[in-house]
């Protein structure tokens, strides 16, 4: 019995040994751990989707977990959608748990980053330049994509030293750069474009200055528009079209003449090789409008223009781009004005008539009041013996000027101011006073209207002899003075009359001969 028990124990031991050998052989055969270690890149299949990530079958004894935050990273330039169940993904093992919590932690972006960074280093090992593509403009520079990894170009390294450039114009553009800093741990790449641009344009610039001279007409593209002018890219250099050279039109705005990107013709009007500056003109490629102004404008024509400037002597009006005429202050209004601003204002649209065209002196005389003549049809509005309200505008020794309407003035003679004798109109009327007057005569041809303040059909009072009129002391002195002047004037006229009898042609006659001739005449 004991022997039987011993025999069974031996058999059990051999069976256990065979089983252990079989498991060991199986572990060796399948190599469960195999190449699964931290940093290994494997391909797997999405088997389940969770809120915080995905379960991935990578052929390990358990499924790996790919957190959502490990799917992609801001340093990578991509727009890869999140995976669905059954999708194949390439991931990197970031951690392997042991024991009861055995689990693989996975990351997708880390393996992508490593592969792309390695590609950058391989390219830089072959050449010191690398191709990048502009992505977006940021404060201080431009973000670019280099093999799918974001890099940065400072704004000071985007263009040649001393010249500015808008980073926005390089977005979606591919161009070569040089690496000036890299840090794999910080995932940092910094590039420079400046040195390449300077080297490239140096030769082109020299060739440009050798071939181009003032007066040449070139073609270029509008690269930027500013308040003071337009920059034009001529290839090797950029030139400036100042606002004064944009158009023949006065005070033209750049945005009204060209748009960014326009292909235009320009004339070289200045070259400063030392400071690398080229002055250009657009308007000089269009021809001076004054050269043909006489063909378009003739005296008597009317047109609409814009008031561009007001001076003490008149108003300047632009009747076409680059062509300005002057309305003299005397041609602005039929009434007297002290300054053109009383009639017009800057920027106002006005209708004017062409009075004179002088292409040689680049002058055009314009008229404004001629198109607004208040004397036109004045005979139809005013008739003899019509009573009208008037306003005294000026006083003179011989009468008062009154305004019937704006631009129409008439005269009330001193004899028609009152039924009584008036020595000075100021004794009866005052400037600005409004009265009712009667029209005596309307003469449109001579622009003259005579009026009266006296009643109709009344003869003017005859002036009485001075001795019959009682005089005050002041009046008596004034009359005595006037009488003295009349007497003096009469004596002078009589003396002149006597002198007229003297022989005028024989200037060498003596007094004796003249007396003898008189005696002979009396005999």
Q: What is the pLDDT of residue 175?
A: 92
Q: What is the pLDDT of residues 340-379, one digit of tens each?
A: 998 899 989 998 999 999 988 889 999 888 887 788 888 8
DSSP secondary structure letters along 211-255: H--TT-EEEEEEEEE-SSEEEEE-SSSEEEEEGGGT-SSTT--HH
- In this predicted structure, the answer to whether residue 193 has a pLDDT above a threshold of 50 is yes
The chain-wide mean pLDDT, for the chain, equals 79
Q: What is the pLDDT of residue 333?
A: 83
Q: What is the pLDDT of residues 448-488, one digit of tens each?
A: 999 999 887 665 544 444 444 444 444 444 445 444 444 44
- In this predicted structure, the answer to whether residue 416 has a pLDDT above a threshold of 50 is yes
- In this predicted structure, the answer to whether residue 27 has a pLDDT above a threshold of 50 is no
Binned at pLDDT 50, 70 and 90, residue 238 comes out as: confident
Q: What is the pLDDT of residues 293-302, one digit of tens each?
A: 888 888 988 8
| Gyration radius of the chain over CA positions | 53
**Mean per-residue pLDDT for 505-522?**
44
Q: What is the pLDDT of residue 401?
A: 93
**Mean per-residue pLDDT for 181-203?**
88
Binned at pLDDT 50, 70 and 90, residue 30 comes out as: very low
Q: What is the pLDDT of residue 212?
A: 87
Residues 6+ apart with CB under 8 A from 496: none
Per the listing, tokens 């280099």 go with: 146
Q: Which of 73, 83, 42 lies closest to 60, judged by CA?
A: 42
Q: What are phi and psi of 80, to 5 degrees?
A: -90, 125
Q: Which of 66, 117, 119, 55 lies closest to 92, judged by CA?
A: 66
Residues 6+ apart with CB under 8 A from 44: 56, 57, 58, 59, 64, 88, 89, 91, 106
- State the pTM of this model: 0.42
Lowest-pLDDT range, 117-121, 185-189, 374-378? 374-378
Q: What is the pLDDT of residue 162?
A: 56
**Mean per-residue pLDDT for 269-285?**
87
- In this predicted structure, the answer to whether residue 100 has a pLDDT above a threshold of 70 is no
Q: What is the pLDDT of residue 400?
A: 93
- In this predicted structure, the answer to whether residue 131 has a pLDDT above a threshold of 90 is yes
Angle at 135 between CA 129 and CA 139, to 5 degrees: 100
Residues 6+ apart with CB under 8 A from 328: 313, 314, 365
Binned at pLDDT 50, 70 and 90, residue 137 comes out as: very high
């Amino acid at each position: 019995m004991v022997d039987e028990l011993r025999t069974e124990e031996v058999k059990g031991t051999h069976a256990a040994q065979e089983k252990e050998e079989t498991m060991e052989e199986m572990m060796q055969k399948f190599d469960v751990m195999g190449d699964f270690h931290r940093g290994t890149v494997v391909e797997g299949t999405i088997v389940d989707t969770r809120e915080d990530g995905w379960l991935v079958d990578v052929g390990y004894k358990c499924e790996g977990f790919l957190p959502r935050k490990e799917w992609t990273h801001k340093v990578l330039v991509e727009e890869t959608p999140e995976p669905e169940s059954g999708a194949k993904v390439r991931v990197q093992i970031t951690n392997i748990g042991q024991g009861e919590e055995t689990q693989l932690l996975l990351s997708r972006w880390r393996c992508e980053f490593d592969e792309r960074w390695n590609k950058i280093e391989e390219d830089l090992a072959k050449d010191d330049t690398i191709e990048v593509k502009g992505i977006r403009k940021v404060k201080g520079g431009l973000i670019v994509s280099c093999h799918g990894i974001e890099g940065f170009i400072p704004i000071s390294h985007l263009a040649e030293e001393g010249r500015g450039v808008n980073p926005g114009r390089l977005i979606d553009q591919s161009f070569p750069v040089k690496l000036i800093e890299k840090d794999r741990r910080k995932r940092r790449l910094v590039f420079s474009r400046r040195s390449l641009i300077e080297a490239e344009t140096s030769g082109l610039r020299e060739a440009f200055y050798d071939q181009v001279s003032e007066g040449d007409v070139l073609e270029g593209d509008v690269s930027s528009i500013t308040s003071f002018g337009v920059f034009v890219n001529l290839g090797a250099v950029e030139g400036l079209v100042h606002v004064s050279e944009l158009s023949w039109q006065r005070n033209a705005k750049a945005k009204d003449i060209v748009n960014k990107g326009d292909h235009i013709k320009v004339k070289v009007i200045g070259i400063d090789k030392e400071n690398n500056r080229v002055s250009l003109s657009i308007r000089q490629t269009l021809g001076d409008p004054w050269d043909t102004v006489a063909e378009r404008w003739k005296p008597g024509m009317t047109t609409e223009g814009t008031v561009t400037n007001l001076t003490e002597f008149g108003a300047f009006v632009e009747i076409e781009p680059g062509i300005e005429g002057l309305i003299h202050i005397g041609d602005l209004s039929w009434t007297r004005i002290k300054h053109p601003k009383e009639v017009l204002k800057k920027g106002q649209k006005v209708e004017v008539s062409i009075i004179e065209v002088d292409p040689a002196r680049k002058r055009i005389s314009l008229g404004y009041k001629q198109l607004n003549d208040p004397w036109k049809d004045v005979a139809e509005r005013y008739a003899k013996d019509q009573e009208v309200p008037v306003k005294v505008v000026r006083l003179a020794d011989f009468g008062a000027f009154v305004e019937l309407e704006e631009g129409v003035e008439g005269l009330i003679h001193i004899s028609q101011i009152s039924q009584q004798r008036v020595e000075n109109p100021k004794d009866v009327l005052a400037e600005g006073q409004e009265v009712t007057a009667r029209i005596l005569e309307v003469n449109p041809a001579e622009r003259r209207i005579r009026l009266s303040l006296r009643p109709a059909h009344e003869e003017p009072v005859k002036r009485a002899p001075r001795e019959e009129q009682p005089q005050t002391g002041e009046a008596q002195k004034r009359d005595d003075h006037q009488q003295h002047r009349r007497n003096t004037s009469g004596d002078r006229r009589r003396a002149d009359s006597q002198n007229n009898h003297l022989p005028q042609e024989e200037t060498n006659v003596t007094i004796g001969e003249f007396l003898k001739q008189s005696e002979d005449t009396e005999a």
